[in-house]
């Protein structure tokens, strides 16, 4: 891959480097250390509280202040009253929106639409820039294959290629055409690296990733973000193979700076330098500061460990001045790139609210995944229905639909499903009967069920809004049981017993185990936490004003014990198949040990997920045909074209996400049974056929080999193209020789 891209700065790369050198030559050690110090700034009296340190050049960045007047005053003090006038980085977690909220990142990933994802990041960035923020801690591009982990909500799912493409789109969105534009934010790709593999899906927990898996699965999105110009990276809280990421020289020095030549800035996560002591890596905070600095962490997020110890570490010679200068240069470079030294001011006004609303709705529309639709229960026809029961704790909750990380989200901008359904029904004879039934998704109190059941009996169809409140996912919000919480399953059973069609809309921050409820539903729309305009999008989808087109960016397990279950697994020496598995209920008494298939499956769950990666239904249907490869064999310097015809075989217009998967049959390390390599979202009218073409290069065939170098190996490859990860339209080709080692 190409080396990390350089971000255009106001005065070109050389000019910026010269200005950095000039500044460094004029800074005292204390002022240099000050640049590496990020402090918390949400307190009311923050200007007073931080004033003295700002004037003394002791602060490089403030996190969590979003009042524009306060931010401007902090910047003014830094610029006008400190000796060298170095402006501040103003950091904030602007994850999937600021005031107007787009779907959670996992929902955005279900759109498989990089342009839309980029536009959502742009919208969030523009709104936040109007508050004085110039640095966001996004995108989060941790690969996550464990839905117990609450932070899966912030992730882009289980797949390295989907995450790489969408993560890079987010970087472009936040950073805009130039970082120095006052509406652009510096992005921060996080959490470097391996955080998504926290053991047992418990946040902050240990990760154990072999280097080959780390390189092939977890690092590619970070490289893609670096190549998209991400101005900064954040280290992970967790330890990886015994070394906390915040002191990890393999990650920060060898890979990031060495192999990728990254020239952006690295920030620790919150207090993570101090936590090196809690991890048991270092005995003292002094030693923690030493290890983090030597590994390559440039900025200390709120731990004050650098502030307390770096000057001493320099004075005693344990850290060379050149190391400190490099760290400071990385911080200053980001400030130059942001245009902060060149008169960048807080953007004047928020972007148009109408445009943000329409974008947030578009994203929500494309993020919802139709998981079940028996007998074409959906879409509903508001002109033939007369009464609709609208039940459940999430039908009318303007806050919960926003999801995790919405510090600044404005619930007043929310359109709930009930509000949107009411406005759609306003011009029809349809009447809605809303019963909340459960106070929260976690509630076990069934006293509202009688009323819900009566409303269902009285209706033509039942819409039930279930899921998880926002607080049940996100940082530190992990669950060991990922069924619908509280008495929601009982509620569904009561509704189903009325004999009326039951349509569930689930809003949640993670895949849930839905096996216990699925049989009681006629249709199921999975909406993630869909954001401000989620309700409007859901209503349009339910009434057929829009056609569902979201596809799962992560597998849904049948039961928790299957985790991790993901499509890109290895084959094993004993792969399971329908013929080799047996269910626990079917084992004969006294069966011989070797009669049970002897392959890699669970006796009670088989080996497949409940819903596979890439899956999602539509109100129309698509057929794939005419898969043609440009060649049966290619050399490493050649491109392989793959073309396929996709036809809308149904009655309504729809969009399909066409997915291309590869399998490298043999390798010097074992290879996944399938890997997503390319995808395209295509819109098709009924009866329309479009030819979709993909081009594969050696980059798509390459992987980290046994010796941890990257390249493609000669041999046979399978190609499948279709609408999900079980696509069966197949072709094959060969790579005629090994590639050279790729950078
Ligand atoms: C801790 C989280 O892990 C990180 O993602 C976030 O950006 C920081 N806190 C700052 O809020």
Greater model confidence, 347 or 732: 732
Residues 6+ apart with CB under 8 A from 375: 522
The DSSP letter of residue 348 is S
- What pTM was computed for the model? 0.97
pLDDT band for 345, please (50, 70, 90 cuts).
Answer: confident
Task: Compute how many other C-beta atoms are within 10 angstroms of the C-beta atom of residue 132.
Answer: 24
204 lines ligand 1 (CB under 6 A): no
Q: Which two structure tokens, joined as six digits, stand for 173?
A: 């969105």
Q: What digits encode the pLDDT tens for the residues 405-460?
A: 999 999 999 999 999 999 999 988 999 999 999 999 999 999 999 999 999 999 99
- What distance in angstroms lies between residue 468's CA and the mean position of ligand 1's atoms? 22
- What distance in angstroms lies between residue 462's CA and the mean position of ligand 1's atoms? 40
* Crossing angle (nearest 10°) for helices 305-315 and 285-295: 80
Q: Given the DSSP bridges, would you call strands 37-40 and 61-63 parallel, antiparallel or unpaired?
A: parallel
End-to-end CA distance of the chain: 6
154 lines ligand 1 (CB under 6 A): no
* Crossing angle (nearest 10°) for helices 488-496 and 449-457: 30
- What is the Cβ-side half-sphere exposure of residue 711, based on CA atoms within 13 angstroms? 17
**Beta strand segments in 255-321, E:** 265-267, 300-301
Q: Is the pLDDT of residue 715 over 60?
A: yes
pLDDT band for 343, please (50, 70, 90 cuts).
Answer: confident
* Nearest CA, atom 3, ligand 1: 269
Q: Using alpha carbons only, what angle is made at residue 605 by residues 206 and 586, rounded to the nearest 5 degrees?
A: 145
| Cis status, amide bond into 193, omega within 30 of 0 | yes
Pocket test for ligand 1, best of 136, 301, 303 (most atoms within 8 A of CB): 301
Q: Given the DSSP bridges, would you call strands 710-711 and 640-648 parallel, antiparallel or unpaired?
A: unpaired
How far is residue 216's CA from residue 227's CA, in Å, rounded to a whole number? 17
Q: What digits encode the pLDDT tens for the residues 93-147?
A: 999 999 999 999 999 999 999 999 999 999 999 999 999 999 999 999 999 999 9
142 lines ligand 1 (CB under 6 A): no
- What is the Cβ-side half-sphere exposure of residue 316, based on CA atoms within 13 angstroms? 7
Q: Is the pLDDT of residue 500 over 90?
A: yes
- Ordered by where they begin, the domains of the chain are 13-342 (3.20.20.300), 368-542 (3.40.50.1700), 574-606 (no CATH), 622-741 (2.60.40.10)
Q: Which two structure tokens, joined as six digits, stand for 727?
A: 């696509």
Nearest to 268 by CA among 366, 259, 279: 279
Mean pLDDT (the chain) is 96
Q: Is the pLDDT of residue 256 over 60?
A: yes
270 lines ligand 1 (CB under 6 A): yes
* Nearest CA, atom 11, ligand 1: 93
Q: Is the pLDDT of residue 546 over 60?
A: yes
How far is residue 245's CA from residue 363's CA, in Å, rounded to a whole number? 33
pLDDT band for 11, please (50, 70, 90 cuts).
Answer: low
- What distance in angstroms lies between residue 605's CA and the mean position of ligand 1's atoms? 36
Q: Worst-scoring range by mean pLDDT, 169-173, 180-184, 432-436, 595-599?
A: 595-599
Q: Residue 6 has what pLDDT?
A: 33
222 lines ligand 1 (CB under 6 A): no
Catalytic residues: 269
- What distance in angstroms lies between residue 654's CA and the mean position of ligand 1's atoms? 38
How far is residue 269's CA from residue 41's CA, in Å, rounded to a whole number? 16
């Amino acid at each position: 891959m190409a080396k990390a891209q350089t971000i255009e700065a106001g005065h070109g790369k050389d000019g910026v480097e010269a200005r950095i050198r000039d500044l460094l030559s004029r800074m005292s050690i204390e002022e240099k250390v000050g640049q590496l110090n990020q402090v918390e700034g949400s307190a009311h009296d923050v200007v007073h509280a931080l004033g003295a340190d700002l004037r003394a050049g002791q602060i490089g960045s403030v996190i969590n202040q979003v009042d524009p007047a306060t931010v401007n005053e902090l910047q003014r003090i830094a610029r006008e009253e400190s000796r060298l006038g170095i402006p501040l980085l103003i950091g904030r977690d602007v994850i999937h929106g600021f005031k107007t909220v787009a779907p959670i990142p996992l929902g955005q990933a279900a759109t498989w639409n990089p342009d839309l994802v980029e536009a959502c990041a742009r919208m969030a960035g523009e709104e936040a820039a109007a508050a004085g923020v110039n640095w966001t801690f996004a995108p989060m591009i941790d690969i996550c294959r464990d839905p117990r982990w609450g932070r899966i909500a912030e992730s882009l799912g289980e797949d390295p290629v989907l995450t790489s493409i969408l993560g890079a789109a987010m970087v472009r969105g936040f950073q805009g055409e130039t970082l120095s534009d006052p509406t652009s934010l510096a992005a921060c790709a996080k959490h470097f690296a391996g955080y998504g593999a926290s053991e047992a899906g418990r946040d902050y927990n240990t990760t154990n990733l072999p280097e080959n898996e780390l390189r092939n699965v977890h690092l590619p999105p970070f490289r893609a973000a670096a190549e998209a110009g991400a101005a900064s990276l954040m280290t992970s809280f967790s330890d990886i193979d015994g070394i906390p990421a915040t002191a990890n020289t393999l990650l920060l020095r060898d890979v990031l700076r060495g192999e990728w030549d990254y020239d952006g800035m690295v920030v620790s996560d919150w207090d993570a330098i101090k936590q090196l002591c809690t991890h048991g890596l270092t005995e003292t905070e002094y030693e923690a500061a030493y290890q983090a600095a030597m590994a390559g962490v440039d900025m200390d997020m709120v731990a004050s460990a650098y502030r307390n110890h770096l000057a001493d570490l320099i004075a005693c010679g344990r850290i060379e001045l050149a190391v400190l200068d490099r760290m400071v240069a990385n911080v200053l470079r980001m400030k130059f790139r942001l245009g902060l030294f060149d008169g960048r001011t807080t953007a004047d006004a928020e972007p148009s609210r109408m445009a943000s609303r329409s974008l947030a709705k578009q994203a929500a529309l494309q993020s919802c995944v139709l998981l079940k639709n028996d007998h074409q229960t959906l879409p509903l026809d508001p002109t033939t229905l007369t009464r609709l029961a609208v039940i459940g704790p999430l039908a009318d909750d303007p806050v919960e639909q926003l999801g995790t990380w919405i510090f600044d989200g404005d619930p007043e901008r929310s359109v709930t499903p009930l509000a949107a359904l009411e406005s759609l029904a306003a011009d029809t004879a349809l009447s809605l009967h809303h019963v909340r039934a459960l106070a929260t998704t976690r509630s076990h109190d069934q006293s509202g069920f009688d009323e819900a059941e009566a409303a269902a009996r009285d209706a033509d169809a039942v819409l039930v809004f279930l899921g998880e409140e926002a607080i049940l996912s996100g940082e530190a919000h992990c669950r060991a049981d990922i069924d619908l919480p509280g008495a929601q399953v009982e509620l569904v059973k009561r509704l189903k017993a009325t004999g009326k069609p039951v349509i569930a809309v689930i809003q949640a921050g993670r895949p849930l185990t839905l096996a216990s409820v699925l049989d009681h539903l006629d249709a199921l729309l999975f909406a993630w936490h869909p954001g401000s305009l989620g309700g409007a999008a859901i209503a349009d989808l339910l009434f057929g004003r829009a056609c569902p087109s979201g596809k799962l960016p992560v597998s849904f397990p049948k039961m928790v014990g299957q985790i991790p279950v993901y499509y890109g697994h290895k084959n094993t020496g004993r792969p399971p198949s329908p013929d080799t598995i047996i269910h626990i209920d079917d084992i004969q008494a006294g069966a011989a040990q070797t009669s049970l298939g002897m392959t890699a499956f669970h006796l009670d769950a088989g080996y497949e997920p409940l819903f596979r990666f890439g899956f999602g239904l539509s109100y129309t249907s698509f057929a794939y045909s005419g898969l043609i490869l440009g060649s049966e064999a290619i050399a490493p310097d050649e491109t392989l074209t793959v073309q396929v015809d996709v036809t809308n075989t149904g009655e309504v217009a729809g969009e399909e996400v066409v997915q291309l998967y590869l399998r490298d049959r043999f390798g010097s390390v074992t290879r996944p049974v399938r890997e997503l390599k390319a995808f395209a979202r295509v819109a098709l009218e009924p009866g329309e056929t479009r030819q979709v073409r993909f081009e594969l290069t050696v980059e798509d065939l390459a992987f980290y080999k046994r010796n941890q170098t990257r390249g493609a190996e000669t041999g046979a490859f399978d190609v499948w193209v279709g609408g999900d990860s079980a696509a069966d339209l197949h072709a094959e080709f060969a790579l005629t020789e090994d590639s050279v080692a790729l950078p």
